[in-house]
Chain A
Amino acid sequence: MQRPSPEVATRLFLRLVARDPVAPSDLAEAYLEPLIEAVRGRLGDLSDPTLVDDAVMDTLLRLPKEPEKCSGPDKLWTYLFMDARRDALNALDKQGRRDRRLRMVPLDVADKTETRNESVEETLLRREECPYLPEGVDIRAVRQAVDGILADPVDLRLVELITARVRGHEPYAEAMGIAHLPESEQKALVNRARGRLRAALRRLGARLE
């Protein structure tokens, strides 16, 4: 299972930032399998491989609540991978400590010892304290900006190039269909489009430097 293309990542990231209600489902569908494969590959053979599945699922359920934590569409895979891997390692560590504790505690005491494992419900309810929208964000303005980018295939391609830190004006001019124009004119038009989209992305919370 391959990781999603940059175009898919860009679209998903923008839809998450715009709080599109279907975006979390599409994120899970696009990333669940490849992420599980990647994290399992990194952690090697585990006695309980579902531990990785759970970590990846929790990561994919967390991001739509605070998509601004990911700095841009080009970082989406890395962000998800690192978050899921960290969660899986923590769970592994916790499991190891629990196993060690159980081996050391006499059985009659173990029977009376409350398990300290937080349930999924408790964890998620605790996380409920964070707001779903950052302070001062006008979601209508964000949606308008995102809709504008998604509706225009040229803008979407330019956003991909910008967030992938592609340098030089040629790829941009090609995407804009102005490669036939004199170079100075190409550069001027590319700079203008790039400036407009970079400003829009910054307003959406993407960190581009």
Chain B
Amino acid sequence: MTDGPRTETDRLLSRAAERAAADPFYLAHALRAYQAAETLDDAALAAWLGCPAEDLARLALCRRPGALFPPASPDYEEAFVEEVKALSDRFGVDAGRLAGVLRRTAFLEATAQTPAGESVSAYLMAARDRDNATLEQVPPETGADEGKDAEQ
């Protein structure tokens, strides 16, 4: 969230998004983890999600979808789908790709936090269930995108 902010507001929002990246409540935290895992800069992440680069800080300052409920609870699933759609409607990001970013980040967080594979299988099962659920809106992929999808 540091690539070439244009106005004073953009610059400040970009800095605020940097601070929000330290807080799991915010989407910035997940986006930062995804960027680190995929070695993507802001422009590449914005392009992947399908939003203008200058909107990335605004997107990052949103609450992380599903953050109000424990992962894998029925409330979480419903809120996750609903809130990813809300962000997609507002910022024009691809809902499927944003959901994919969040699932991958959740997986990375789970593997980082738990001893050898303990709850990773639970996360994998939850991710598989989600794949069968509502957010099957990812448009047909181009060749360049295939590698990323295969990881999810």
Chain A residues within CB distance 8 Å of chain B: 19-25, 28-29, 32-33, 36, 53-54, 57-58, 60-61, 64-65, 119-121, 124-125, 128, 132-133, 139
Q: Is B117 an interface residue (CB 8 A)?
A: no
Q: Is B96 an interface residue (CB 8 A)?
A: no
Chain A residues near B19 (CB, 8 Å)?
54, 57-58, 61, 120
Q: Which 10 A-B pairs have the closest CB atoms?
A: A25-B61, A21-B63, A124-B23, A121-B22, A57-B16, A21-B83, A25-B62, A120-B22, A25-B58, A124-B22
Chain B residues near A21 (CB, 8 Å)?
27, 62-65, 83, 86-87
Q: How many residues of chain B are within 8 Å of chain A by beta carbon? A: 28
Let me know if B68 and A133 touch, CB within 8 A.
yes
**Chain B residue nearest in CB terms to A123:** B22
Let me know if B62 and A57 touch, CB within 8 A.
no
Let me know if B12 and A22 touch, CB within 8 A.
no
Contacts A24-B62, A29-B61, A64-B63 given; 11 further ones with Cβ under 8 A? A19-B63, A19-B68, A21-B87, A22-B90, A24-B63, A29-B13, A29-B58, A33-B9, A57-B19, A121-B22, A132-B25
Q: When the two chains form the complex, which single residue of A19, A25, A64 contacts B59, counting CB atoms closer than 8 Å? A: A25
A19 to B15, CA, bound (A): 23
B141 to chain A, nearest CB (A): 26
A61 to B29, CA, bound (A): 13
Q: Is B8 an interface residue (CB 8 A)?
A: yes
Chain A residues near B86 (CB, 8 Å)?
20-22
Main secondary structure of the interface of A (DSSP, over half): helix
Chain B residues near A23 (CB, 8 Å)?
63
Q: When the two chains form the complex, which single residue of A20, A28, A33, A61 contacts B23, counting CB atoms closer than 8 Å? A: A61
Let me know if A32 and B13 touch, CB within 8 A.
yes
Q: Is B120 an interface residue (CB 8 A)?
A: no
Chain A residues near B61 (CB, 8 Å)?
24-25, 28-29
Chain B residues near A121 (CB, 8 Å)?
22
Let me know if A29 and B9 touch, CB within 8 A.
yes
Chain B residues near A19 (CB, 8 Å)?
63, 68
Let me know if A33 and B15 touch, CB within 8 A.
no
Chain B residues near A128 (CB, 8 Å)?
23-25
A33 to B16, CA, bound (A): 11
Let me know if A22 and B24 touch, CB within 8 A.
no
Contacting A at CB under 8 A, from B54-71, are 58-65, 67-68
Q: Is B20 an interface residue (CB 8 A)?
A: yes
Let me know if A57 and B15 touch, CB within 8 A.
yes
A60 to B15, CA, bound (A): 12
A128 to B87, CA, bound (A): 23
A29 to B9, CA, bound (A): 7
Chain A residues near B13 (CB, 8 Å)?
28-29, 32
B135 to chain A, nearest CB (A): 15
A55 to B71, CA, bound (A): 31
A147 to chain B, nearest CB (A): 12
Let me know if A32 and B63 touch, CB within 8 A.
no
B11-36 CB mask vs A (1 if < 8 Å, else 0) is 01101100110111111000000000
**Chain B residue nearest in CB terms to A143:** B82
Let me know if A33 and B8 touch, CB within 8 A.
yes
B96 to chain A, nearest CB (A): 17
A61 to B26, CA, bound (A): 9
- A19-B68, A25-B58, A25-B59 as given contacts; A65 in contact with B90, CB under 8 Å: no
